[in-house]
Amino acid sequence: MGFSPRRVYCQAMVEELSPSRLQEKLEDGADVQVVDTRPPRQYAAGHIPGALNVPYGQLAGRIDEVDWSDEVVMVCQEGISSVQAGRLLESYEGIDDDATVASLAGGYDAWESDLETDA
């Protein structure tokens, strides 16, 4: 199938979600998909529980591999490249127009809750 942008002419606006709001959603059992865009070694050292690791540099090539949910939160170390990843994801035709794609504001630098490790 391959990557096929659907919104070529507009600049996608990626919502920023605060760490406390994401934590609330996760605690409430909301159907939110957290995607960690950091390299595998950083992901393994500590990530938001339940996060899927799709490194930023691999996102375009792996976008068809994931069954994207209606609410996706992209996460990186500082909250910068996750905004770019969110824009890429929003432009993908496999994402519903009603889907919410957000970036974690401040990234892992701002995350104060527990992390899961692959140890």
Which residues belong to the active site? 76
List, as one string, the DSSP characters of 51-105: -EE--GGGHHHHGGGS---SEEEEE-SSSSHHHHHHHHHHHBTTS-TT-EEEEET
